[in-house]
């Protein structure tokens, strides 16, 4: 194993340290590059840059592998629960039964929102996108939970993390209730994390809500599949916001804003809208042709990934879950047939084969969420709910890293060089 790499730059020969992770590609340590050569590196979109070291999640995009703290996502999705995965991501290990009971209890004790927060919702238009409400309400948590805002205290960081994980279902469910004009439902802590979310979303005060165990399990699995994904755009946003010392609620609000975009978490909403627009199998070739056309901005939503150049392992589990949920609910959604046929056609098309474009986690999730009864606008809010644990785990890891510094990328400047100010009357 080599420990240095040679670089000749600016007339100097440098030995760059090579860093080795526990698995995955080696990394060149370029921290002293500017001091030694006066040069920066150029890497828009960070396609070749590791911004941190992390022991939480590992992805091998060529092999389609996703591990959380070493455990394959397929095993976690099949055999564990979202609460177990939250414990794993936050604390590094799967919980014992006793630890799981204590962790679930702690989370359940933080599910309620400050009553004053309910008045925030009333300031939004009824047709506001749930993600717009989530950005606003989660950011506003900083004003209500100032007692857990000391980021230098690990205990307070953990309380803030528990609060965020616990309150996101309440916040997301309230965004939905507000949009349809129904009363907000209080959390019921005798239900599971996921069952409680379903109750707050689909229950009404006039009736006792009965949680369907198949839907609860499917929803819990969807949460597991979205829980973390190493240094993706929204997680990097949370880390960057947190690197300045900003409070955790503000950092997670920043992550939510980033997740909203259609190239990231917004793809689940866009994917289902696209499948509905296609409508019937015979129209698929037209959309595949559009996706391949360089002059058409259209892309197959739910297809392709920066890191996976193979099947996204989350999409495999998601496709199985669609079948189970549709079967249990007795729903026959033509959109699922369109999705299966579109996947088949795209995966046998040279364009998608050459570019290694496969379905990602967002391709099938919308079909399940729609069958459960969520409107498309809620899809990305559900992603945000589930990703919160990943965000807080990564944020905690960053704050406790002794090498942590404020994130401050450099640039290749291409604007005008220095010139003198011209008085307004003299400008042409």
For residue 343, state whether it binds ligand CMC (rule: CB under 6 A).
Answer: no
How far is it, in rounded angstroms, from Cα 368 to Cα 382? 12
For residue 275, state whether it binds ligand CMC (rule: CB under 6 A).
Answer: no
Q: Which of residues 231-260 bind ligand CMC (CB under 6 A)?
A: 232
How far is it, in rounded angstroms, from Cα 30 to Cα 48? 12
> What are the phi and psi torsion angles at 274 (to 5°)?
-65, -45
From 56, 54, 387, select the one nearest 224 (Cα to Cα). 387
Close Cβ partners of 345 (under 8 Å, ≥ 6 residues apart): 284, 285, 288
Contacting residue, 169, 187, 248, 302, with ligand CMC by CB under 6 A: 302
Largest CA distance in the chain: 77
Pick 167 or 264: Cβ nearer ligand CMC: 264
Pick 95 or 304: Cβ nearer ligand CMC: 304
Contacting residue, 87, 163, 167, 305, with ligand CMC by CB under 6 A: 305
Say whether 229 is catalytic.
no
Say whether 186 is catalytic.
no
Decide: residue 300, CB within 10 A, 0-12 exposed, 13-18 middle, 19+ buried.
Answer: buried
Pick 216 or 362: Cβ nearer ligand CMC: 362
For residue 301, state whether it binds ligand CMC (rule: CB under 6 A).
Answer: yes
Residue burial 301-325, b: 16+ Cβ < 10 Å; e: rest: bbbbbebbbebbbbbbbbbebbeeb
The DSSP symbol for 14 reads E
For residue 64, state whether it binds ligand CMC (rule: CB under 6 A).
Answer: no
Contacting residue, 4, 204, 355, 409, with ligand CMC by CB under 6 A: 355
Pick 372 or 386: Cβ nearer ligand CMC: 386
For residue 353, state whether it binds ligand CMC (rule: CB under 6 A).
Answer: no
- With tokens 């980033």, the residue in question is 258
Pick 107 or 389: Cβ nearer ligand CMC: 389
Pick 301 or 392: Cβ nearer ligand CMC: 301
Rg (the chain; Cα; Å): 23
Supply the minimum distance, in Å, between the C-beta of residue 416 and ligand CMC: 30
Residue in 362, 401, 420, 426 annotated catalytic: 362
Binding span for ligand CMC by CB under 6 A among 1-9, 263-271, 326-334, 401-409: 263-271
Number of amino acids touching ligand CMC (CB under 6 A) = 19
How far is it, in rounded angstroms, from Cα 166 to Cα 95? 18
Residue burial 189-199, b: 16+ Cβ < 10 Å; e: rest: bebbbbbbbbb
For residue 267, state whether it binds ligand CMC (rule: CB under 6 A).
Answer: yes
Pick 12 or 355: Cβ nearer ligand CMC: 355
CB atoms closer than 10 angstroms to residue 228: 27
Pick 60 or 328: Cβ nearer ligand CMC: 60
Tell me which residue has its CB nearest to ligand CMC.
Answer: 304
Residue in 68, 87, 110, 305 annotated catalytic: 305
How far is it, in rounded angstroms, from Cα 369 to Cα 203? 16
Close Cβ partners of 2 (under 8 Å, ≥ 6 residues apart): 18
For residue 304, state whether it binds ligand CMC (rule: CB under 6 A).
Answer: yes
For residue 110, state whether it binds ligand CMC (rule: CB under 6 A).
Answer: no
For residue 291, state whether it binds ligand CMC (rule: CB under 6 A).
Answer: yes
- With tokens 């900083």, the residue in question is 142
Supply the minimum distance, in Å, between the C-beta of residue 177 and ligand CMC: 26
For residue 319, state whether it binds ligand CMC (rule: CB under 6 A).
Answer: no
Contacting residue, 130, 265, 366, 390, with ligand CMC by CB under 6 A: 265
How far is it, in rounded angstroms, from Cα 88 to Cα 91? 5
Tokens matching residue 340: 């299966």
Contacting residue, 217, 362, 385, 389, with ligand CMC by CB under 6 A: 362
389, 165 Cβ separation under 8 angstroms: yes
Contacting residue, 300, 339, 392, 399, with ligand CMC by CB under 6 A: 300
The CA dihedral of 215, 216, 220, 223, to the nearest 10 degrees, is 60
CA distances from 366 to 85, 284, 337, 379 (A): 22, 18, 13, 7
Binding span for ligand CMC by CB under 6 A among 55-63, 102-110, 183-191, 353-361: 353-361
Contacting residue, 186, 188, 276, 306, with ligand CMC by CB under 6 A: 306
Q: Which residues are catalytic?
A: 305, 362
For ligand CMC, the binding residues (CB under 6 A) are 232, 263-265, 267, 291, 299-306, 355, 357, 360-362
């Amino acid at each position: 194993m080599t420990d240095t790499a040679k670089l000749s730059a600016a007339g100097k020969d440098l030995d760059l340290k090579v860093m080795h992770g526990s698995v995955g590609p080696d990394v060149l340590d370029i921290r002293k590059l500017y001091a030694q050569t006066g040069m920066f590196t150029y890497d828009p979109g960070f396609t070749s840059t590791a911004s941190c070291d992390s022991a939480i999640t590992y992805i091998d995009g060529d092999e389609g592998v996703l591990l959380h703290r070493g455990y394959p996502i397929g095993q976690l999705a099949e055999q564990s629960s979202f609460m177990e995965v939250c414990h794993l991501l936050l604390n590094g290990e799967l919980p014992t039964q006793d630890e799981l009971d204590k962790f679930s209890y702690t989370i359940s004790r933080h599910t309620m929102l400050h009553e004053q927060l309910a008045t925030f919702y009333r300031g939004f238009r009824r047709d506001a996108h749930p993600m717009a409400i989530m950005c606003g309400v989660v950011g506003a948590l900083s004003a209500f939970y100032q007692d857990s805002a000391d980021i230098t205290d690990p205990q307070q960081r953990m309380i803030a993390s528990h609060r965020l994980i616990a309150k996101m279902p309440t916040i997301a469910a309230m965004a939905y209730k507000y949009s349809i004009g129904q009363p907000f439902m209080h959390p019921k802590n005798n239900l599971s994390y996921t069952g409680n979310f379903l109750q707050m979303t689909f229950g009404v005060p006039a009736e006792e809500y009965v949680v369907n165990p198949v839907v609860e399990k499917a929803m819990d699995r969807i949460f597991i599949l979205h829980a973390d994904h190493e240094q993706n755009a929204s997680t990097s946003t949370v880390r960057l916001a947190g690197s300045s010392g900003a409070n955790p609620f503000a950092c997670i609000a920043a992550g939510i804003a980033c997740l909203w975009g259609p190239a990231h978490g917004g793809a689940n909403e866009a994917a289902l809208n696209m499948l509905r627009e296609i409508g019937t199998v015979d129209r698929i070739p037209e959309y595949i042709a559009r996706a391949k056309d360089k002059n058409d901005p259209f892309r197959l939503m739910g297809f392709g990934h920066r890191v996976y150049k193979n099947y996204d392992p989350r999409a495999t589990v998601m496709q199985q879950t669609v079948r189970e949920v549709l079967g249990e609910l007795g729903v026959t959604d033509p959109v699922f047939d369109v999705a299966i046929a579109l996947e088949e056609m795209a995966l046998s098309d040279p364009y998608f084969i050459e570019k290694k474009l496969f379905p990602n986690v967002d391709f099938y999730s919308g079909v399940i969420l729609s069958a459960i009864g969520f409107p498309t606008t809620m899809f990305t809010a559900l992603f945000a709910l589930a990703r919160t644990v990943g965000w807080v785990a990564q944020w905690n890891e960053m704050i406790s890293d002794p090498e942590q510094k404020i994130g401050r990328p450099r640039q290749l400047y291409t604007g005008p060089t220095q010139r003198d100010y011209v008085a307004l009357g003299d400008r042409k």
